[in-house]
Amino acid sequence: MNKPLYVVCMLASLCVSPVGAQDPAYPVWRCGHEFTNQPRPGQNCQVVELPSEIIMTAPRKRPNLEKPDQTPPVLVMPRVDLGDQRQRQSVAKSVLNDELMKTQTRCQQLPANSTELVRCRADEAALRRELARAP
């Protein structure tokens, strides 16, 4: 028989032969409902047989979040004029007052002992808390 053909046939037969998965390099253990690669001593664990189609990948490296040479960016907020701020606060307060009056009117129209009335009263209380916090 031709020697190069013999070598090619031998290599082909080695590639085609099934690869045994009885002794995996990284065994997987089942400890109750938990699967792990490193069981703790004293646990009742069993080796799990994995199919040969599973491909194990290297663990992902976590990015280094602590970089001492970089300082976080400083957020620069523009200054707001005191008059403009007071105007915004008064507008916000008037909107809350309008919402409170609408909610009170709606609560008065709802039947007593209904779940809608309970929700309406909770909304009313929330609006009162917001008004109390407003400057």
Digit-coded pLDDT (tens) for 30-89 = 888 888 888 888 888 988 887 777 676 777 777 766 656 667 778 888 888 999 999 999
Distance between start and end Cα atoms, the chain:
100
Determine the residue type at 67.
Answer: K
Choose between 20 and 33: higher pLDDT. Answer: 33
pLDDT band for 93, please (50, 70, 90 cuts).
Answer: very high
Which pLDDT value is given to residue 20?
46
| Helix/strand/coil for 119 | helix
Domain boundaries of the chain, sorted by first residue: 82-133
Per-residue model confidence (pLDDT) at position 123:
95
Give every CB contact of residue 51 below 8 A, 6+ residues apart in sequence. 21
Average per-residue pLDDT for the chain: 81
**Rounded Cα–Cα distance for residues 75 and 103 (Å):** 39
- Average pLDDT of span 110-121: 91
- Order of strands across the sheet with 46-48? 34-36, 28-31, 46-48
